[in-house]
């Protein structure tokens, strides 16, 4: 667990698949302000594993918008697209421990498997609908280019010493919404998280695997992100235990929503930082719009 006395290392990790919006600004400001207030470090990471959607112009816009907002970060910037060897090493370790299996089920296949009346309403977890385990019987030796790699959650729990040992693992949350120490629930991991994908077809990794590997590599002590990712922290804590990675603290903040109450997405050009800039807004006005105190 990160020491409370250590200078924090905060990060902001956007994907260059669209323009940054007010929600991104809120998250970046929150992490940057916390690092500055505690005399810590602020890092920027470009999460560009999805090469089919990542665009150089969006990456340039990230740098320009953050600099305009008054944020300063260390160089060089980490890019996930340059770290595939690190992700492969982690996958090899998990595979060597018998924790992965290949899966070629599509979203339609999963929905069909869960549509039978006796199945009841499907559970949703950090990866969407909880996978029913259709391919769990398949040996890893069968894995081909069309397969994703899934974590066998039951075997992962056993690897860590069983349910009692997993219950001793803690997500330490310092955010205003879920503040406190939250123990992992092995039953919820099986039923509410399930066998998540750790390597997607054509990508070589997944968000869940890459984020824990990269946070460890950068020495991140405090993970700041939106409340919608709170549930994913329990999966990430499990992966940290499986891979013997250092454990940060988490800060999950409120989401910035539009007038209809919808969470902002990158398609929300009306809330894009670039549009506010073009209309003459100042960084101080953006902070005020988000309900944040003026920069110190």
Residue 192 has pLDDT above 90, yes or no: yes
Domain match, 9 and 33 both: yes
Residue 1 has pLDDT above 60, yes or no: no
Domain match, 217 and 293 both: no
Q: How many domains does the chain divide into?
A: 2
pLDDT band at 114 (very low <50, low <70, confident <90, very high): confident
Residue 182 has pLDDT above 60, yes or no: yes
Closest to 215 measured CA to CA, from 166, 181, 255, 250? 250
pLDDT tens digit sequence for 32-66: 999 999 999 999 999 999 989 999 999 999 999 99
Domain match, 47 and 78 both: yes
pLDDT band at 204 (very low <50, low <70, confident <90, very high): very high
Domain match, 57 and 88 both: no
Structural domain range at position 229? 83-253
Residue 116 has pLDDT above 80, yes or no: no
> 25 — phi, psi (to 5°)?
-60, -40
Q: Strands, E, within the chain: which ranges?
A: 9-12, 41-46, 78-79, 100-103, 124-125, 128-129, 148-151, 170-173, 180-183, 197-199, 222-226, 249-253
pLDDT of residue 269: 66
Between residues 125 and 206, the one the model is more confident about: 206
Residue 24 token pair = 């991104």
60-92 burial, b if ≥16 CB within 10 A, otherwise e? ebbeebbebbebebeeeebbbeebeebbeebbe
Give the global pTM: 0.93
- Which of 177-186, 242-251, 256-265 is the least confident region? 256-265
Q: Classify 293 as helix, strand or coil.
A: coil
Domain match, 51 and 118 both: no
Average pLDDT of span 238-253? 98
Q: Which residues contact 270 (CB under 8 A, 6 or more apart)?
A: 258
pLDDT of residue 206: 96
Average model confidence (pLDDT) across the chain: 92
Average pLDDT of span 253-265? 72
Domain match, 88 and 98 both: yes
Domain match, 74 and 100 both: no
The CATH number of residue 191's host domain is: 3.40.50.620
pLDDT band at 2 (very low <50, low <70, confident <90, very high): very low
187-210 burial, b if ≥16 CB within 10 A, otherwise e? eebbebbbbbbbbbeebbbbbbbb
pLDDT of residue 109: 84
Residue 65 token pair = 């918008």
Domain match, 211 and 187 both: yes
Domain match, 93 and 233 both: yes
Domain match, 116 and 170 both: yes
Domain match, 146 and 73 both: no
Residue 9 has pLDDT above 80, yes or no: yes
pLDDT of residue 262: 62
pLDDT band at 3 (very low <50, low <70, confident <90, very high): very low
């Amino acid at each position: 667990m990160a020491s409370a006395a250590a200078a924090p290392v905060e990060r902001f990790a956007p994907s260059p698949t669209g323009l940054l919006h007010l929600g991104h600004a809120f998250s970046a400001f929150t992490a940057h302000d916390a690092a500055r207030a505690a005399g810590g470090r602020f890092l920027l990471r470009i999460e560009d594993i999805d090469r089919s959607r990542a665009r150089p112009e969006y990456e340039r816009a990230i740098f320009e918008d953050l600099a305009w907002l008054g944020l300063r970060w260390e160089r060089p910037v980490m890019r996930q697209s340059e770290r595939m060897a690190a992700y492969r090493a982690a996958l090899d370790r998990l595979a060597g421990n018998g924790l992965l299996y290949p899966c070629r089920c599509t979203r339609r296949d999963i929905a069909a498997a869960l549509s039978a009346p006796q199945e009841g309403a499907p559970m949703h977890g950090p990866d969407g609908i909880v996978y029913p385990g259709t391919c769990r019987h398949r040996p890893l030796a069968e894995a081909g280019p069309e397969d994703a790699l899934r974590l066998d959650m039951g075997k992962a729990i056993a690897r860590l010493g069983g349910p009692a040992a997993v219950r001793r693992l803690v997500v330490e949350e310092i955010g205003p919404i879920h503040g406190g120490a939250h123990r992992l629930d092995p039953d919820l991991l099986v039923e509410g998280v399930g066998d998540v994908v750790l390597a997607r077809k054509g990508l070589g990794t997944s968000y869940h695997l890459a984020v824990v590997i990269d946070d460890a590599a950068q020495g991140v002590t405090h993970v700041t992100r939106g409340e919608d990712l709170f549930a994913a922290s329990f999966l990430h804590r499990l992966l940290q235990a499986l891979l013997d990675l250092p454990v940060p603290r988490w800060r999950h903040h409120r989401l910035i929503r539009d007038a209809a109450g919808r969470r902002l997405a990158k398609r929300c050009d009306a809330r894009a930082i670039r549009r506010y800039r073009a209309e003459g807004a100042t960084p101080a006005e953006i902070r005020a719009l988000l309900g944040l105190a003026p920069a110190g």
